[in-house]
Amino acid sequence: MIEKISKKMVKALIGGEHIIWEDRPEKLETIINQLITDDLMVEDRLNDEVKTLLESRTKDYEREMMDYGRVFQMVKQKLVRERGLIL
């Protein structure tokens, strides 16, 4: 799906003369494809980081009877705010 979106974007940008691109259109498609993929992966990487942070503290949370899901969301929201991420 991302590849189709990238192709349509390049076609619209170059065909509509919104940008000047002197290289192969496929090269721009690859760049756009990577940008979209990276953007979509932000939340996945953040979730992995939060899990890693909490893994070392899981036993503490279990002892304190804290809800892991709630703590996960709290840590995630804090990191989103600190980093200015848009999910």
| pLDDT value, residue 20 | 92
Is pLDDT of 67 > 90? Answer: no
The pTM of this model reads 0.64
Is pLDDT of 80 > 90? Answer: yes
| pLDDT value, residue 17 | 87
Range of the domain at 43: 2-83
| pLDDT value, residue 56 | 74
Tally of domains within the chain? 1
Q: Residues 6 or more apart from 76 whose CB is under 8 A from it?
A: 46, 47, 50
Mean pLDDT in residue range 54-75: 75
Q: Which long-range contacts (CB under 8 A, 24 or more apart) does 34-38 make?
A: 36/2, 36/5, 36/6, 37/2
